[in-house]
A and B are shown apart, each in its own frame.
Chain A
Amino acid sequence: MSTFKAKVFVTLKPSILDPQGRTVERALSHLDHGNVGGVRVGKYIELTLSGSRADVEAQLKDITENVLSNPVMEDARWEISEQQGEELVGA
């Protein structure tokens, strides 16, 4: 059995208005960053899963599509990497 670290990125579909992103963009423009556009605010979620790679990948796909994102208005993608040995915690 291996341990995997997953990173899930959830973003609003391009067709969905993102008032939060628009507000951030406006604030940036007030700070003289007028050349910045296309700001979209999304979510980043980290998970640790244990099991075989095939099982964990199937499970992660299920979790991502059915819980962590709402396919009606969000897109989601994920990355997964196997943890090598014990993870160092802290400094």
Chain B
Amino acid sequence: MKTAVIQFPGSNCDGDALHAAQLLLDQDAQFVWHTEAGLPQGTELVFLPGGFSYGDHLRSGAIAARSPIMQAVKAHAERGGFVLGVCNGFQVLTESGLLPGALSRNRDLHFLCRPVHLRVENAGTAFTGAYTKGQVIEVPIAHGEGNYYADPETVARLEGNGQVVFRYTDNPNGSLNDIAGIINERGNVLGMMPHPERAVEALLGSEDGRGLFDSLVRAQAPA
């Protein structure tokens, strides 16, 4: 699966994202700098990596969401192309309007950097088909602003549509309804605070993140 990992000034999980994509989605992954106006020809997955784009100035993800490449990312999503936003990438997706809601300061103000357990709430998406519903996976988090918020109507809609894809088993940051990751209605844009790309090899402590990438390969494979 041809993957474009977007690099913003301050991205710091871009290397991990590229490594995971090259390891699990074939070799065809490359970095794309945020000032580019277009994605490489044939891009199938856009990976918005974690980090502190623009030093989190104004709001985390706010400036990155308005950078030139994001117009191309939005067009890619409108064509039905896959977009995965992890951590700061999730914040960029909410700031750009590709996903509803917002991520605010963790309930206890602490920057949290540790493994957490997530329950797969919807295994019927292109990003989760290799998991089973209810499966609990271990994936690390590393964020200061991962407290998911949306108005009650939006949360009810997300829940009703099965758009809450991952939920914390032990809520670390105060997120509404223990939400760790959501998908858009169309099912091609996923945002999550935990880092599946940091859990793809036994050496890293967990391989539970592999399922997400395996799911994408499976979703892509001809029936």
**Residues of A bordering B, CB below 8 Å:** 12, 16-17, 19-20, 23, 67-68, 70, 72-73
Could you say which of B101, B107, B149 contacts A19, with CB atoms under 8 Å apart? B107
Q: Are B102 and A23 in contact (CB under 8 A)?
A: no
Interface size on B, residues (CB 8 A): 20
Offer 21 A-B interface pairs, CB within 8 angstroms, sorted by A.
A12-B104, A17-B107, A17-B174, A19-B105, A19-B106, A19-B107, A19-B108, A19-B109, A20-B105, A20-B109, A23-B109, A67-B58, A67-B62, A68-B58, A70-B62, A70-B102, A72-B94, A72-B100, A73-B102, A73-B104, A73-B149
Ranked nearest first, the 5 interchain pairs of A and B with the lowest CB-CB distance are A72-B102, A73-B102, A19-B109, A19-B105, A70-B102
Most buried by B among A12, A19, A72: A72
Other 15 A-B pairs with CB < 8 A, given A17-B104, A72-B150, A73-B102: A16-B149, A17-B107, A17-B147, A17-B174, A19-B105, A19-B106, A19-B109, A20-B105, A23-B109, A67-B58, A68-B58, A70-B95, A72-B94, A72-B100, A72-B151
**Residues of B bordering A, CB below 8 Å:** 58-59, 62, 66, 94-95, 100-102, 104-109, 147, 149-151, 174
Q: Are B66 and A16 in contact (CB under 8 A)?
A: no
Per the bound structure, the CA–CA distance linking A20 and B59 in Å amounts to 14
Per the bound structure, the CA–CA distance linking A7 and B54 in Å amounts to 23
Cβ contacts under 8 Å, B150 to chain A: 72
Per the bound structure, the CA–CA distance linking A64 and B39 in Å amounts to 30
Cβ contacts under 8 Å, B151 to chain A: 72
Most buried by A among B58, B66, B100, B106: B58
